[in-house]
Structure 1
């Protein structure tokens, strides 16, 4: 299954720039691992409000429980809230192979 995940990150007040940089580096490394194993397919930046830190991600997992494990493994999970939308194929999707 594929899932669209809207991830909004809020850095806690008092967090140093070094802590933010470390968190971002760890998130990037974990994202690369998830991409290599086929769990993370795409990332986008939607239009952002000033100061907003938001990402849309396309993930692949066997089910919602597996997706939860993937999301829980990401370092930024500690600072963000997520909205998950399960996706189903559309019969006219140009990216699908003909049947």
Structure 2
């Protein structure tokens, strides 16, 4: 099952640049691991306003519970609010014609 996840990160006031850099490095490493495992399919950066830190992701998991376990492994989750939308195939999806 695929899920669209909007991730909005808010870094707490007073957080040092070193801490931000460290957690972002761990997030990148974890994202690579999730991609290798087939859970993280795509990431996008939508248009951002000043000071916004937002990402859109396409994830694959067996169900919503597994997706939650996957999202919990992401280091930035401590500063993030996720909005999850389950996706189902559309009968006119071009990808379905190519499979």
Q: Which TM-score band applies after superposition, normalised by the shorter structure?
A: over 0.9
CA distance in 2, matches of 1:52, 1:24: 15
SS in 1 for 2:96: coil
Counterpart in the other structure of 2:65: 65
Counterpart in the other structure of 1:48: 48
CA distance in 2, matches of 1:60, 1:79: 22
Distance 1:32 1:98, change over 3 A: closer
Count of residue pairs brought into register by the alignment: 99
> Displacement, 1:72?
0.4
CA distance in 1, matches of 2:82, 2:23: 17
- Give structure 2 stretches of 5+ with no counterpart: none
> Displacement, 1:98?
5.5
Distance 1:29 1:98, change over 3 A: closer
Deviations 1:57-83 (A, max 9, x none): 000000000000000010000000010
Q: Which has the higher helix share?
A: 2
TM-score by length of 2: 0.97
SS in 2 for 1:95: helix
Cα RMSD (Å): 1.1
1:33-44 map, 5 Å: 33-44=33-44
TM-score by length of 1: 0.97
CA distance in 1, matches of 2:36, 2:11: 27
CA distance in 1, matches of 2:71, 2:96: 26
